[in-house]
Chain A
Amino acid sequence: MKVLKYLKPYWWLALLSPLAMILEVSMDLLQPQLMSDIVNNGILGDGDAASNLSYVVITGLKMLGFSIIGCLGGIASAAFGTTAAQKMGNDLRKAVFDKVMHLSFQQTDKFTTGSLVTRLTNDVTAVQDFVAMSLRMFVRTGMQFIGGIAVILTLNVNFGMVLAISMPIQILVLFLILRKATPLFSVVQDKLDKVNSVVQENVTGARVVKAFTREEYEKGRFDKANTDLMTTNLRVQKLLATLNPILMVVMNASVIAIIMIGGFQVEAKAMMVGDVMAAITYITQILMSVMMVGMMIQQVSRATASIRRVNAVLDTIPAVNDPENAVTASDIGAIEFKDVQFYYPGFSGRPVLKDIDLKIEKGQMVAILGATGCGKTSLVNLISRFYDATSGEVYVNGVNVKEQSIEELRSRIGVVLQKSELFSGTVSENIRWGKPDATDEEVKQAAKIAQADEFIMGFNDDYETMISEKGASLSGGQKQRMSIARAIVKKPDILIFDDSTSALDLSTEAALHKALKENLEGVTIVMIAQRIASVMRADKIAVLDDGQICAFGTHKELMQSSDVYRDIYFSQMKNEEGENNG
């Protein structure tokens, strides 16, 4: 229950809420007693009519007074409890978000972004609701239960007998049914997930479903998942449908027993009719609170799952941290890998990168070429310290990355990711992400270099056009060019392209290269690419094969020395044609 420490700053609110609730419940508990007084001493009173009536009125007003106090207590309890829970939830949410923002890539990957989003939204809310409920309902139910028993026993000890029989039965029934139902809840959840996943696949994969004319097949798949869900749901609900009537039978039998016992007691003059009426109210209250406990047990089990999931995030120690004494950069723009090995955490077996030794000088343009899954992205991610090397060291700007402040390190690096992520906002806001104080000219200039200016000017509101839904309305090439502009406007010393020109057609890409060369002098460029044409003009080309650098040099050198490079070259150029260039 580590999350509960977030309640600490609001301990006084958290304490006042149950206290106020005690006030409310005590007043509630007094009511039936007063009611019974009204019946016993007022309506059936021994005095004359006028004094009986005045007794009714006076006791009634007392009752009203108490109930108003109770009401105020209830409102205060709601106010304190809600405030405490909301504030705590707010702090918790902020803490989790802050943590998520500072996780390293591998940690985020491990959680998966989808799950992090649910943890931040649903789970935090579940914890918050749980706290709000506990503060009030636990106390309320407990008091109604204990208080009710106490009062009913003072009315007549014989009523205790009824309780002694009915309560264990109720608890047993609750226990048996809930024990059967609780595991079913998670089964229902699984089946629901299954339904959702089929729908998701069909919505996002509509083209493939249609292209293979698999509509009927998909309908069958959905039908199965849907029917499964319904059957399981029905099973749970049928089970729960027994709960209500059984508990009611027990409760009503208790009421009958109370009247019965009461009747004999009244005849024996051991008690008054009013007390019987009060006892009916109390026993209903007591048995109701037993049912509430059942409800709350379910709530607790749900909340514990959420608490566990939130805790898992909070307990994660960010894998990549700032050093205690940051060293300032000396040789800006230079990058060096020294004997770097890299394994994905948790993945034993083959390393992703092995024996990497690579030196990139300031102002150089280095291309990285290699097969799918050979570790290119992992290699460049080490530069920005999105991951830390398993062994070996990475030097950027002349200093070991682990000895630099992460923020300073990343501020010097512009990264264009493989998958362009845009945010909601205008085009210029998106580009300005790279440098919040960039002038309009700077934004436009960056867009020009990125070959984005032309299509942006074609939008209705040019740079003020709103980008919705992560750029769903833009083509892949447009998104990539905007991401490139975003990295350029930052005026970085090192610019990294992680296969981020793949959606550009060849002439656009060529124009981009030309503009980069002309405008970004002195900037070190590391570029991952698939196309030989994209890399041929680089100062140096590193060929990655199976996690190792198998060749490093200029195009000409590699054409002579590297089989792998020649292989790639010919796979794209084929034979003689390519050779008159280069």
Chain B
Amino acid sequence: MSQTQVQSNGMETEKPQFYLTEDHHPEGSTMLGFWLYLMSDCLIFAVLFATHGVLGRNYAAGPSPADLFDLPLVAINTAMLLFSSITYGFAMLQMERGAKAETLFWLGVTGVFGAAFLGLELYEFNHLIHEGAGPTRSAFLSSFFTLVGTHGLHVTFGIIWLITLMVQVGRYGLIPENKRRLMCLSMFWHFLDVVWIGVFSFVYLMGVLG
């Protein structure tokens, strides 16, 4: 009796397999997954924008945006990020052509513009803090530094990622894996430019407008 049971069990159970027998997952799912990450990042920025919207007028008898912000500097900063977006676009076009040297060149130009943006932003932060308008001065400045600083931190990690990928492309060429990574960074980089549109419109221009 027990023997028949064992036999029937042995008949039914297949040989266990500890590896994936189905097809390799489609390449496009990485893009969708990365898009979902960007959307969750978008929510972080939305909450920071809402915080700034609520606290942006609470100056605690301190300086207001019209006293602090240097709009020509912000305009140059915006131009830097916009230029870096179009040069990343050129890098993607060269990547599709399979031209490794040109791709690396445009990625390098993108990195330089990104670094210029970051440098100007750090200069502005340094200037504000030395004027006594640091993040602890008022609720307006706390929310300003949190929002713009979070964006700057994203750009910083974007540049680190960019340099990493330049090394990867330089060493292994434009293999499918590197193309996929470059496409993810492309979405990340353009997304940061989209967030910056919100920052210069809502924080700087609306702030100076009063």
A associates with B: no
- Residues of B participating in the A interface, judged by any CB pair closer than 8 Å: none
- Residues of A participating in the B interface, judged by any CB pair closer than 8 Å: none
